[in-house]
Structure 1
């Protein structure tokens, strides 16, 4: 059997690792020109379900690489108002030396690519597919084609595979925009940063800060504080056309203006950020997870259940999908049972994310 995966995100890479470990022929096709091109975020929360999925699909040497490049685990979830008055605090037990509770997205993706060099084709933009006999022909924007027994759409919330397979599927714009930033943890920053910000994920009324403290940092950078500001176009004072066209430095300057009357420590942190690392993201979600027609085309991760980040479940649900789909494609179950399980599990994650998002962002239109 030959499996073609469209999308070299976390879910697609996890599936590729699991299938290769089981001896299945795999090719991954990614539209980005290289592994370093993508900007989707910085820090990823890894849940027990995500850890379990990684243990199930990854060869041991790849799993060890993921553990080595993960961040040191934190023990805190907390909330503050804009003047840094504490609103709530929840602590968690710290796991053992192999525990993975959070990880830098870039380091994670690179670790997940360990051993996959000859199986990933970059710069391959999916255009369409056609069912051929019992298999599928995949057509790319450059005019080339590939034939596989199974095509897996793992190409994210804007999935082109899903658009052809389930044209009636709706992805809703939440109206919330995020501006992500990175604050290098220099000695000067460590001298002023609130201790809570280095212990775990901290909300600050419309913004959030979370530490990325590496076990083994990538060559390109070291420890940092992830910062994200959220708001509607009205709150940010920019239309989408304006926001998504702004240079990174101008975008981060907008963040500085938004927090100008917040506690001076927040201002100091924002001023210490690497302004060139700022970028915006539009938060989108589905409200229901749909089954697809039986056949050689299946979906995984955000391609079938895009969700808000308000439950920290997106990446973990994609990993869960990858483990279950690996099982289905290697004889442990069936594609029909994968779809049935995925629909239930994915819908639960979407629902939790929506409920949390309505509270966090005051969403009223979804």
Structure 2
């Protein structure tokens, strides 16, 4: 698939989706001298709310080091958060149930990031590469390449199309129509608690050290994680990410009701859920930016399937959507991007990428499912 002329790669790669995996792949290909174009359906990089804090593990760090030009890697490091050293569990009255500590990384470590700041840093140098407002509609093989058709009626032709368009991937729907994405039944309400001095004073020390989950074994639970920037974005500063998780029954609202709520109504629902919890938690919830709340449904696959040979391949959540219960989604997408960069630049092959990705992605999906079953009592098989 890779084409060389006088040692120069002669190939055009189109990427559907400007998420974490798609951007990492674009950076890796651009660094290698490959012509690349990213097509993103959203009108701007800040349009859609998908989450706040993202855990980056060793797999993700290694992939970033492999694909990013040094100037982009430095920007990612600068805008990352200060590393934490704790994962802990509490009951609603803040009695500690579990604790794990980890060594704190060095000044160049990337162990967690703010999603918005991370994506903006990953877009460094890609102004002429990303086309926003380009919604993928369909594709078809033409000669040795692929024609990509967009919802606005326009078309593009590339040698390779990479579907990096997330859990609801339209590229995957055409390539693997039998692929099943399961609704876990778990709903999340995300929120942000700005870390003003008064909030820092009331926040439990553990909540500022790392990821903490509060649950009484039944009913809705809530996670807290600090986002303490090295260099904050212009739009906001340090905050606590707060996430309420539960089934529709536990949250007391069906999907039609939940997803029709305004941000302030969603955060009001969170306030009701914690009404009899420890006063410190209630105070944190009361201090949140209610306008920043949004709800999402957690979905996952149970099998990672191979796609047919050809000029269309898949990456990230488009091929292995998983629950966040192992903190592996973003890291697996970055791993994919590094391996696919190698395949598209001739170091390996697309067939070997597919084979490696199937094994690695399935292992991450399985771990996430097993953790999810323990955390949420899921019945997905």
- SS of 2:128's partner is helix
Give the match for residue 271 of structure 1: 286
- SS of 1:3's partner is strand
- SS of 1:118's partner is coil
Give the match for residue 58 of structure 1: 68
Whole-angstrom CA distance in 1 between matches of 2:127 and 2:99: 43
Give the match for residue 228 of structure 2: 213
Give the match for residue 222 of structure 1: 237
1:304 aligns with 2:304: no
- SS of 2:242's partner is strand
Give the match for residue 336 of structure 1: 351
Q: Summarize the alignment of residues 125-204 of structure 1 with structure 2, pairs less than 5 Å apart.
A: 125-204=135-214
- SS of 1:293's partner is coil
Q: Summarize the alignment of residues 281-292 of structure 1 with structure 2, pairs less than 5 Å apart.
A: 281-292=296-307
- SS of 1:117's partner is coil
Give the match for residue 6 of structure 1: 16
TM-score, normalised relative to structure 2: 0.96
Q: How far off its partner does 1:38 sit? A: 1.7
Give the match for residue 337 of structure 2: 322
Structure 2 gaps, min length 5:
1-10, 216-220
TM-score, normalised relative to structure 1: 1.00
- SS of 1:201's partner is strand
Give the match for residue 277 of structure 2: 262
Please list the CA deviations of residues 40-97 of structure 1 after superposition, one character each: whole Å capped at 9, or x if unmatched: 0000000000000000000000000000000000000000000000001110000110
Whole-angstrom CA distance in 1 between matches of 2:272 and 2:104: 37
Structure 1 gaps, min length 5:
none
Whole-angstrom CA distance in 1 between matches of 2:380 and 2:143: 44
Give the match for residue 45 of structure 1: 55
Q: How far off its partner does 1:365 sit? A: 3.6
Whole-angstrom CA distance in 1 between matches of 2:334 and 2:306: 19
Whole-angstrom CA distance in 1 between matches of 2:170 and 2:236: 33
Which of 248, 256, 275 pairs up with 1:241?
256
Give the match for residue 97 of structure 1: 107
Whole-angstrom CA distance in 1 between matches of 2:70 and 2:85: 27
Please list the CA deviations of residues 128-187 of structure 1 after superposition, one character each: whole Å capped at 9, or x if unmatched: 001001100000000000000000000000000000000000000000000000000001
The runs of at least 4 aligned residues of structure 1 exceeding 3 Å deviation read none
Whole-angstrom CA distance in 1 between matches of 2:40 and 2:55: 24
Whole-angstrom CA distance in 2 between matches of 1:281 and 1:288: 22
Q: How far off its partner does 1:364 sit? A: 1.6
Whole-angstrom CA distance in 2 between matches of 1:110 and 1:241: 33
- SS of 1:178's partner is strand
Q: How many residues align?
A: 366
- SS of 1:265's partner is helix
1:24 aligns with 2:34: yes
Whole-angstrom CA distance in 2 between matches of 1:281 and 1:50: 24
Whole-angstrom CA distance in 2 between matches of 1:357 and 1:343: 21
Please list the CA deviations of residues 98-157 of structure 1 after superposition, one character each: whole Å capped at 9, or x if unmatched: 001000000000000000000000000000001001100000000000000000000000
Q: CA RMSD in A?
A: 0.4
